Amino acid sequence: MDDMEMPSSLIKRNDMFYVHVRVPTNIVETYGKRFETKSLRTRDFKEARRKLHDEVSAINRRFDDHRAKIARQTQPATPQPSLSFAEIARRHASDVSDKEFADRARLFEAAYAEPSLLWKGELVALPESRYFDHLVEDGDLDKIMGYIVRSRATGRIAELRRMLAIGKLSELAVIAEERSPGIDPARKLVLARLLARAEIDALGAIIAGEPDAGIESAAVAPSTPAERGDGRTSAQVPTSANRGSGGPRLSLVLADWIAEKARTNSWVEKTRDERKASVQAFIEICGDHPVGVYAKADAKRFKDVLFNIPPNAHKKMAFKNLGLVAIAEKAEAEGTLKPTAKNVALKMDAVSSLFIWAKKNFDEVQTNPFEGLKPRVDTVAREERDPFSLDELKRIFRAPPFKGAKSEHHWLQPGSQTLELSGKFWVPLVALYTGARLMEIVQLRRGDIQTLGDVTFFDVKGDGENRVKTRSSNRRIPVHPTLVKAGFLEFVARVKNLDHRIFPDIEIGHAKNRSGPASKLFARLIKAAGVKRDKNNFHSFRHTFEDACRDAEVDTAVMNALQGHAERGMSGRYGSGFKLERLNAEMAKIAYGLDFEKSVAN
């Protein structure tokens, strides 16, 4: 190899290639070192060139993250509102109501004191309608004044709706700033929208509570399918006006719910986005009404519409720019593929969870409209994916990553290179002998493999960047003797920094699809081994482990503890119920009858 061919960020030490990047001068003082150097774990120049780009990109991202961190440390913290957005909106609605009644009182007093000022339009702008002309002819000042103030309120509602439609919310943004000083621009816009909706609710409730509101009530809620975006008539649409107060709008409750979950770190980003999208879909289909007035009819309508929305409809040209109701109607008419009951149930579960929370937090919510309405899902969880058979396991572990590959890049092609330093070799083995989920394995750090007494174990937990599926997923899994015999602990020992991942070569995706890259990677292994079926994938290792526990007569509660399954009742507290020594003894019973296990037994 000619030295001139060597990229500036690639160096060679002891016959091994390394990426070597100088830290930018604008951050070198705070970064703590002058160079970022990392082994590419290859002696092959071409392979090093292939790996170089990704590693340099990763290093540059670390530089960017460091710049952002320093910028945050040097900037003053943005003052946060002391009240929740929902509470601010409620107070605004109360102020709007108080002001409206005060203005009405002054207007009535002035009109009765000097009626001529009213007819000249000097007290208030007079409505232009046949009905108003009819009232003037009758001469009943009480009815005339009632109509005037209601018209003014409905006009303000229409104005607020226009503001929301075109995004011109500068008037409400000023109020948002006054009520939440120092709020950042993005959050100010969110609060401005909530204030507009709260004002609409307050004015609508005043109008709905008046004896002569029938003439004007149509102005409070859209009356045509085109205005609503669905096919229902006005009589079929429950509106804020005809439902009563019932607490804050559902959109306000959603904002509160998300904020509370953020404060308690209850959700990962993906969960938050999925729950939020489901509730927003419910609002689109059934309307944004006071949270306490929704009924089972709303939940059933939501379910009926969902059952007619095809999978990934928003990605298909046939449904471009259509609302959910319109998509459902078109799909039903065309006989398009329908979603599974499981997918519909997941969305209904998300909205149901919000109502369960709202019932605990708002006096106006007495029932959960989704209770008892979730569609039945016949599939048992463990039947969704088949376990691997013994023959399939043998074929998987005779594949090139375990018996010899052409190279790490060509890892599925037979060759002489062993891959004991790669996650492609270890991740499937760890899955087989722990029953852990794919991302629980891929995200493991050096510090997650610990020893207590005579037991070495995986400390599976959600902290920092690591994520687990549920709270019960936090657990300790003893390292199986087969993994120890195969050299797993020596592999782990090569990683010196406790915060570094032990499988850095296995990519982790973005927050909404962290397992995507790894899932695709190991799907290739299953296909290459010739064992791919409709009902198996990487998750089948987990079901295979579960079957092995049963075959070894491992206690069910211990099996659940190892897999991170929640137990009902007091038995669910297995974190303190089983000592590591007990878990380790049960783990040692598990075997599959694979050739490489025989050397462990001897």
Model pLDDT for residues 465-510, shown as the tens digit of each residue:
555 555 656 889 999 999 999 999 999 999 999 999 999 999 988 8
Specify the long-range contacts of residues 563-570, CB closer than 8 Å, at least 24 apart: 563/435, 563/436, 564/436, 564/437, 564/440, 564/460, 564/468, 564/469, 564/470, 564/472, 564/473, 564/474, 564/475, 565/472, 566/470, 566/471, 566/472, 567/472
Of residues 120 and 336, more confidently modeled: 336
Of residues 162 and 1, more confidently modeled: 162
Indicate if the pLDDT at residue 170 is higher than 80: yes
Whether the full predicted model's pTM is greater than 0.75, yes or no, is no
Indicate if the pLDDT at residue 315 is higher than 50: yes
Indicate if the pLDDT at residue 101 is higher than 70: yes
Distances 461 to 84, 353, 443 between C-alpha atoms, Å: 31, 24, 10
217 pLDDT band, cuts 50/70/90, is very low
Contact indicator for 90, 179 with CB cutoff of 8 Å: no
Contact indicator for 144, 135 with CB cutoff of 8 Å: yes
237 pLDDT band, cuts 50/70/90, is very low
User: For residue 22, what is the enclosing H or E element?
Assistant: strand 16-22
Strongest mean pLDDT among 173-177, 308-312, 396-400, 468-472 = 396-400
Task: Estimate the crossing angle of helix 85-113 against helix 170-179, to 10 degrees.
Answer: 110
Strands 16-22 and 10-13: antiparallel
User: For residue 436, what is the enclosing H or E element?
Assistant: none
Of residues 110 and 306, more confidently modeled: 306
User: For residue 53, what is the enclosing H or E element?
Assistant: helix 45-74
Give the burial string for 516-535 (b: 16+ CB within 10 Å, else e): eebbebbeebbebbebeeee
pLDDT digits (tens, 9 = 90+) for 328-381: 888 888 888 888 888 899 999 999 999 999 999 988 899 999 998 888 876 544
**Percentage of the chain exceeding pLDDT 70:** 84
Give the burial string for 432-468 (b: 16+ CB within 10 Å, else e): bbbbbbbbbbbbbbbebbeeeeebbbbbbebeeebbb
| Sign of the CA dihedral running 305, 308, 313, 318 | negative
C-alpha–C-alpha distance, residues 390 and 410, integer Å: 26
What integer pLDDT is reported at residue 221 of this predicted model?
Answer: 38
Find tokens 């039947």 and name the residue. Answer: 383
Rg (CA), the chain: 32
**What residues contact residue 393 under an 8 Å CB cut-off, 6+ apart?**
432, 544, 592, 594
C-alpha–C-alpha distance, residues 91 and 122, integer Å: 31
What integer pLDDT is reported at residue 82 of this predicted model?
Answer: 58
Q: What is the 3-state secondary structure (H, E, C) of 559-580?
A: HHHHHCCCCCHHHHCCCCCCCH
Indicate if the pLDDT at residue 73 is higher than 80: no
Distances 107 to 116, 122, 203, 209, 419 between C-alpha atoms, Å: 13, 11, 17, 19, 85
Structure tokens, 408: 């790490």
542 pLDDT band, cuts 50/70/90, is very high
210 pLDDT band, cuts 50/70/90, is low
Indicate if the pLDDT at residue 382 is higher than 50: no
C-alpha–C-alpha distance, residues 129 and 142, integer Å: 17
243 pLDDT band, cuts 50/70/90, is very low
Q: Dihedrals φ, ψ of 160, to 5°? A: -65, -40
User: For residue 21, what is the enclosing H or E element?
Assistant: strand 16-22
CA atoms within 13 Å, Cβ hemisphere of 362: 29
Q: Residue ranges per domain, the chain?
A: 3-74, 83-220, 230-378, 382-601
Comparing 21-30, 231-240, 252-261, 573-582, the range with the smallest average pLDDT is 231-240
Contact indicator for 20, 11 with CB cutoff of 8 Å: yes
Looking at residue 390, the DSSP 8-state letter turns out to be H
Q: How many residues does the chain have?
A: 602
Q: Helix, strand, or coil here: 433?
A: coil
Q: Dihedrals φ, ψ of 198, to 5°? A: -65, -40
Contact indicator for 387, 540 with CB cutoff of 8 Å: yes
What integer pLDDT is reported at residue 566 of this predicted model?
Answer: 58
Q: What is the DSSP secondary-structure string of 529-550?
A: TT---TT-STTHHHHHHHHHHH
Contact indicator for 219, 44 with CB cutoff of 8 Å: no
Q: Which residues pair with 549 in a beta bridge?
A: none
**Percentage of the chain exceeding pLDDT 90:** 30
Indicate if the pLDDT at residue 543 is higher than 50: yes
Strands 455-460 and 475-478: antiparallel
Indicate if the pLDDT at residue 206 is higher than 80: no
| pLDDT, average across residues 114-130 | 75
C-alpha–C-alpha distance, residues 468 and 83, integer Å: 31
| pLDDT, average across residues 146-160 | 84
State how far Cα 498 lies from the chain centre.
29
What integer pLDDT is reported at residue 209 of this predicted model?
Answer: 60
**Which burial class, exposed, middle or buried, applies to 510 when counting CB atoms under 10 A from its CB (0-12, 13-18, 19+)?**
exposed
Q: Which residues pair with 501 in a beta bridge?
A: 445
Structure tokens, 493: 């020992």
What integer pLDDT is reported at residue 505 of this predicted model?
Answer: 93
Contact indicator for 539, 438 with CB cutoff of 8 Å: yes
Contact indicator for 117, 141 with CB cutoff of 8 Å: no
**What residues contact residue 162 under an 8 Å CB cut-off, 6+ apart?**
168
76 pLDDT band, cuts 50/70/90, is low
What integer pLDDT is reported at residue 464 of this predicted model?
Answer: 57
| pLDDT, average across residues 273-302 | 91
Q: For all residues of the chain together, what is the average pLDDT?
A: 81
Distances 602 to 85, 394, 485, 488, 596 between C-alpha atoms, Å: 66, 20, 11, 18, 11
Of residues 586 and 569, more confidently modeled: 586
What integer pLDDT is reported at residue 570 of this predicted model?
Answer: 38
Q: What is the DSSP secondary-structure string of 168-226?
A: --HHHHHHHHHHSTT--HHHHHHHHHHHHHHHHHHHHHHHHTSTTTTTTGGGTS--SHH
Second CATH level (architecture) for the domain 382-601: Orthogonal Bundle (1.10)
What integer pLDDT is reported at residue 344 of this predicted model?
Answer: 92
